[in-house]
Structure 1
Amino acid sequence: MNLQRACPCGLPTTYDACCGRLHDGAAQAATAEELMRSRYSAYAVGNLDYVFRTWHPRTRPDDLSPDPGLTWTGLSILDTSAGGPDDETGEVEFIATFRNHGTPGQLHERSRFLRRTTRWLYLDGDLT
């Protein structure tokens, strides 16, 4: 994998300086938005283990299976509520675009996050 490429999360930096450092365990997400961006990037690069590890155990599925026909193509953060370094909960509204077997689509969700000790976790979300 070329780690000097742009990060899939859309921030103007490289993958290894942005979400890659979270994926490989060199750092933890400091905010709910940073976790949201890193989870999107994990889906985009096929790192479903990271997605699983950052999902709250109470709400995560038993298994995550890749969809070989799905390619994530972009992320837009629309709104955040709380979720800062000193918060215990947070929400992030986003639109993630994709191509599914060549057909474009989008996922629009308001996600809820909570912090357990020092780690942010994805709890659940509402599709809009």
Structure 2
Amino acid sequence: MNTTKCYCGLPNDYTNCCGKVHANINNASTAEQLMRSRYSAFVLADGNYLMKSHHSSTRPLKDKKAIVNWAKSVTWVKLEVTAKFEGNKEDDEGTVTFDAYYYEHGKLEVIHEKSAFKKENKHWTYLGLAT
């Protein structure tokens, strides 16, 4: 059992948090859970999960290797969820706004993003940037 604190910032161990979603994407009951699991997948450079959790209409299949290489090249620091709209268990769409901090070439960087999520095949997926 992996008792490492989860990478997504919640006070759970990885196995009982994002690890459950990585093992079965249907375990993400909200858009925020899916988004947190994607952050953890970036930390772990899990390209297969990043592709599976991306909506089929916007999935960048050709970029998987580049995404994995980039994810491995940076040092992930933390994730902060700053806002969310809808994206609950009963919803089909939602948005999550977050800041993901990482070090690249010795400099602290941040990805500030408002992401759109949509259910596909009855589970949450990342659609892309929200408008």
Tell me the SS of whatever aligns to 2:14.
Answer: coil
Segments of structure 1 that go 5 or more residues without pairing to the other structure are none
Segments of structure 2 that go 5 or more residues without pairing to the other structure are none
Give the TM-score of the pair, scaled to structure 1.
0.91
Inter-CA distance 27–36: structure 2 relative to 1 (3 Å threshold)? same
1:91 to 95, 101, 109: 95
Alpha-carbon shift at residue 117 of structure 1 (Å)? 3.5
Give the TM-score of the pair, scaled to structure 2.
0.89
Alpha-carbon distance in structure 2 between the residues aligned to 1:112 and 1:89:
7
Q: For 1:49-60, what aligned pairs fall within 5 Å after superposition?
A: 49-60=48-59
1:15-58 deviation line (CA, Å, top 9, x unaligned): 00000111122752100000000000010112121111000111
Alpha-carbon distance in structure 2 between the residues aligned to 1:64 and 1:26:
18
1:116 aligns with 2:120: yes
Flag the structure with higher helix content.
2
Alpha-carbon shift at residue 116 of structure 1 (Å)? 1.7
Number of aligned pairs? 126
- Identical pairs, percent: 37
Alpha-carbon distance in structure 2 between the residues aligned to 1:27 and 1:88:
14
Q: For 1:44-83, what aligned pairs fall within 5 Å after superposition?
A: 44-62=43-61, 63-65=63-65, 66-67=69-70, 68-83=72-87
